[in-house]
Amino acid sequence: MAKKKASTPQSFQRISVASGDGIGPEIMNAVLDIFNAADVPLTYEMVHMGKHWFEQGHSTGMTEDAKDSIETNGILFKGPMETPKGKGMKSLNVTARKMWNTYANRRVFKTLHGVDTVYSKAGIPINLTIIRENIEDTYGGIEHMLTRDVALGRRFITREGSRQVHKFAFEMARKEGITKVFCGHKANIMKLTDGLFLDVFYEVAKDYPEIKTADIIVDDLAMKLVVKPQDFQMVILPNLQGDIISDLCAGLVGGLGFAPSANIGDNICIFEAVHGTAPDITGQNKANPTALLMSGLMMLRHLGIMKQASIIENALLYTLEKGIHTGDFGDKSVTSKSTNEFAKAIISNLGQVPKKGKAKEMENSESLFKKPVKPEIQKMLTSPKLEKEAILGMDLFIESEKQANEIAAQVKLKLHPGLKLVMISNRGTQVWPSSSIFTECVNQYRIRIEGTKGLRLNDTDVLALATLLSKSLKICSVEMLNLYGEKRGYSLAQGQ
């Protein structure tokens, strides 16, 4: 582990730094050069993470030393990282966010003078924050092939995970003077998952009465962001929708070169650019370091290093205002700068102040950040148990190429009088007891069985029934039909 800038360690906060893959080392060097020139009071502990470490046999893509360093320092400043493809390895970028529970991904998109866009030319200012839930959703990465033709992915949305991200967002809104917060979702289709995310949004919002709230279906949000981006100050979204919408927002302010992000958790925080490793321009000294630099500025402010953050931000804005640019943006009639030249221009402009959009000059403050204290055990996020919780039945996923009525006849023969076959669906559409002859099927059905006359089941009953039916059906998976209070914990089939 290489150590940089060890000279005055006492007042210097120690952070872990991973340069990353692709353009990562080029842009990280540029940013650290700017930080050093501005006398940023940080000590950098360089850690080993990325493609090379996967290839060396580290299944998570990082060494134990790297993990120890990050868990001790609590702050990781990282470049983009590549995960070797086709070897079943999980993305290191996602693993890092998930294993250290950085539940909120804050991405800020602002009009930058000197970075021309359709909106800046039309005089439409953009200052928009996306808070993306960072742990759950399809990023749980739970996928199975149920049959040779049918893949099924699962999507986690949890009450307490949602609460963490909504609370963070409202706290941030209060601190930044944001007057209206939107929750983006697709709860009209995903009633239980996105429905839960939305319920918790409104529950948390009650503690912030001064902030206006609204919810918006994500497809409508995508359209409105393009048509009237100035109407939005902050939008909170589940993980996958947040990922897609934030790339859209990057496009509004000039592209991925200007999209910084902070992954915030209670113990560990990770600061990184939104863009990836840009393999098409790697090693050419032409990558734009602005997004990583702006991520670094979010990190400095998180650590209370306000003074250097505003000096660097003003130097960056002044440089952009002067029309100095890398190849991915700016006036094409003006020769573009290399990554190094662009960084040098910012360094030479330290102390300068832009005409427009000047960063507020502030003195360094006490860091809000506290070094992580290792807990004895992993924290359990849970809400109070409900009085009434019961199992009403089961969904049995089977592989079959038969017609639904044949399957129904087969199942009914095996059920005792306390149980009834409620419906059979294929790809989520009901195909028994009623359906359309035009509904096309694949070789995987879901059979829903429920207790009659208020009969409640337990997990042993469900497994015994699955075992009984497995004698005549090929079972792929079993799911409980739960009741929580008065609420059904499962969705109806389309057409049920």
Q: Which amino acid is at 89?
A: M
Burial of 93 (0-12, 13-18, 19+ CB in 10 A): buried
488: nearest Cα among 128, 222, 191? 191
H or E element: which one contains 445? Answer: strand 444-451
Residue nearest to ligand ATP (CB): 276
Mention every residue, 6+ apart, whose C-beta is less than 8 A from residue 320.
Answer: 112, 113, 114, 115, 290, 354
Minimal distance in Å, beta carbon 287 to ligand ATP?
Answer: 4
Please say which residue, 256 or 473, places its beta carbon nearer to ligand ATP: 256
The reply to whether 276 sits near ligand ATP by the rule CB under 6 A is yes
Please say which residue, 194 or 328, places its beta carbon nearer to ligand ATP: 328
**Binding footprint of ligand ATP, residue count (CB under 6 A):** 16
Minimal distance in Å, beta carbon 26 to ligand ATP?
Answer: 9
The reply to whether 275 sits near ligand ATP by the rule CB under 6 A is yes
Minimal distance in Å, beta carbon 275 to ligand ATP?
Answer: 3
Minimal distance in Å, beta carbon 230 to ligand ATP?
Answer: 25
Site string for ligand ATP, 55-84 (x = CB under 6 A): -------------------------x-x--
Please say which residue, 157 or 292, places its beta carbon nearer to ligand ATP: 292
Minimal distance in Å, beta carbon 277 to ligand ATP?
Answer: 4
Please say which residue, 78 or 446, places its beta carbon nearer to ligand ATP: 78
CA atoms within 13 A on the CB side of 244: 11
Residue located via tokens 């640019």: 325
Minimal distance in Å, beta carbon 367 to ligand ATP?
Answer: 28
Please say which residue, 140 or 276, places its beta carbon nearer to ligand ATP: 276
Q: Restricting to residues 160-179, name those near ligand ATP by CB under 6 A.
A: none
Burial of 228 (0-12, 13-18, 19+ CB in 10 A): exposed
Which one of 5-13, 276-284, 343-351, 461-469 is the stretch in contact with ligand ATP (CB under 6 A)?
276-284
Length of the chain: 496
Neighbours of 272 (CB within 10 A): 28
H or E element: which one contains 153? Answer: strand 151-156
**Cα 267 to the center of its chain, rounded Å:** 17
Q: Rounded to an integer, what distance in angstroms lies between the CA atom of residue 349 and that of residue 333? A: 22
Q: Select the residue interacting with ligand ATP from 210, 280, 376, 387 (CB under 6 A).
A: 280
Q: Which amino acid is at 493?
A: A
76: nearest Cα among 227, 267, 206, 320? 267
The reply to whether 256 sits near ligand ATP by the rule CB under 6 A is yes
Please say which residue, 279 or 351, places its beta carbon nearer to ligand ATP: 279
Please say which residue, 233 or 277, places its beta carbon nearer to ligand ATP: 277
Question: Which residue pairs from 378-384 have beta carbons closer than 8 angstroms and sit at least 24 positions apart in sequence?
Answer: 381/158, 381/160, 381/161, 381/164, 382/160, 383/159, 383/160
Q: Select the residue interacting with ligand ATP from 238, 254, 257, 265 (CB under 6 A).
A: 257
Q: Restricting to residues 97-156, name those near ligand ATP by CB under 6 A.
A: none
| Calculated CA dihedral for residues 155, 160, 161, 166, nearest 10 degrees | 120
Which one of 161-169, 272-280, 382-390, 480-488 is the stretch in contact with ligand ATP (CB under 6 A)?
272-280
Q: Restricting to residues 283-312, name those near ligand ATP by CB under 6 A.
A: 287-288, 291
Q: Which two tokens stand for residue 393?
A: 């039945």
Site string for ligand ATP, 7-26 (x = CB under 6 A): ----------------x---
The reply to whether 253 sits near ligand ATP by the rule CB under 6 A is no
Minimal distance in Å, beta carbon 258 to ligand ATP?
Answer: 9
Neighbours of 329 (CB within 10 A): 20
Distances (CA, A) of 79 to 188, 347, 383, 430: 37, 20, 36, 48
Alpha-carbon dihedral sign for residues 217, 139, 85, 290 = positive
SS3 sequence, 360-391?
Answer: CCCCCCCCCCCCCCCCCCCCCCCCCCCCCEEE
Please say which residue, 96 or 476, places its beta carbon nearer to ligand ATP: 96
Q: Select the residue interacting with ligand ATP from 153, 279, 283, 428 (CB under 6 A).
A: 279
Minimal distance in Å, beta carbon 83 to ligand ATP?
Answer: 9
Which residues contact ligand ATP (rule: CB under 6 A)?
23, 80, 82, 256-257, 275-281, 287-288, 291, 328
